[in-house]
Amino acid sequence: MIYLDHAATTPIPPEVADTMYEVLKSQFGNPSSQYQLGLDMKKQVEDWRKTVAGALGCEAKQLFFTSCGTEGDNWAVQAACWQNRHLGRHIVTTAVEHSAVLEACRWMEKQGYEVTYIAPDGNGGITAEQVLEAVRPDTALVSVMMVNNELGNVYPIAEIAKGLAAKKTLLHTDAVQGFLKVPFTARALGADFITISAHKIGGPKGAGALYIGPRVRNPRPLLAGGGQEGSFRSGTEATAQIAGFAKAVELRTENLADKLAHMAAVKAYAAETLSAIPDLRIIGSGTAPHILSVSLVGWPSQNIVNDLSGQGICVSAGSACHQGRPSHVVAALKLPKRVAGGVIRLSFGPETSQADIDACAEALRRHHDTRMPML
């Protein structure tokens, strides 16, 4: 199998699986229990929190474990709106956010909020000026993703944060595709909420985290219950998943600069190699090292995905979270129909090789040469 869909999820290294199995088998205590098995697990969870917080560049007490990026996004949106409920009922976000943010904002619209959706340019770009110009005196929240999950565009979160520093408006960024992919620290970034997820960096599904910064006062919990995570996120801690998350962070941060350079080199090689295929066009202006969006103009993307899948090559027709539905990100670019209909996403990890790219390019060229365009 040639796996070129690391933006959807990532392979789990054996060390991560072994760590999780050991917790499931021998370290199964409930962190809330008051006997030694539980107390030992409570300490372990705090050690794992320090590991993840260290990689994010924040204090451990500012990091709260969640079940996934979607939970973190929803929690951030609702907590920010609750804190600023007396400031106003306006939200600024972008038209190319992950569905977890867009649907959370649409839910807030049903609660009477007004949402401004910033449109990208034809290459997926969004500027800090666009975002800040949309902010009003009654804006409770700005939510802008760090790295677009379909295009790889990196958005100017630190610049937006500086523009909001003197305002009460809170800033959230979905950094699921940015964490350990593009360099940043929570301290330097300046966002009030930062969402991350384990399974995008070699960790398990079912674990994520939300950073909550010092401007957030007594954040409103998303879930009511037993008061875990400092009473801010109830629910028994998923200890094996958290252990796997921390182990994945340890592994990914080893020689991280070399890993990022490798992914960037693979992406550059892919862009050059694929561009030689007739009717293939690079989409967007993404600078993240692990995501490349292309269009085989005139050939339907789902047909391409199915064809390559039959050859053991995994690519995506946009975000895996769309479950086959048309991409709102591609639609926001307002591309010609034949271009938009042929968009596929390739995404890379530290394991991806130039040989993987060569095999994908050969399969795409063969698809072009043997299938009739249908758009």
C-alpha 58/C-alpha 55 separation (Å) is 8
170 has which bridge partners?
141
C-alpha 364/C-alpha 369 separation (Å) is 9
Token pair 């790295």: residue:
147
Question: Which is catalytic among the residues 68, 105, 314, 321?
Answer: 321
* Catalytic residue flag (residue 321): yes
Report phi then psi at 74, rounded to 5.
-65, -40
Cβ 346 vs Cβ 359: under 8 Å: no
Cα angle vertex 330, ends 100, 202, to 5°? 50
Token pair 């994520």: residue:
208
Which residues have a Cβ under 8 Å from the Cβ of 86 and sit 6 or more positions away? none
* 354-370 vs 256-274: helix crossing angle, rounded to 10: 20
Compute the half-sphere exposure of residue 99: CA atoms within 13 Å on the CB side of its CA.
Answer: 10
Report phi then psi at 72, rounded to 5.
-60, -45
Q: How far is CA 129 from the centre of its chain?
A: 23
C-alpha 339/C-alpha 297 separation (Å) is 5
- Amino acid letter, 196: I
C-alpha 316/C-alpha 334 separation (Å) is 20
> Encoding tokens for residue 78?
């609702």
Cβ 298 vs Cβ 338: under 8 Å: yes
Cβ 354 vs Cβ 266: under 8 Å: yes
Catalytic residue IDs: 321
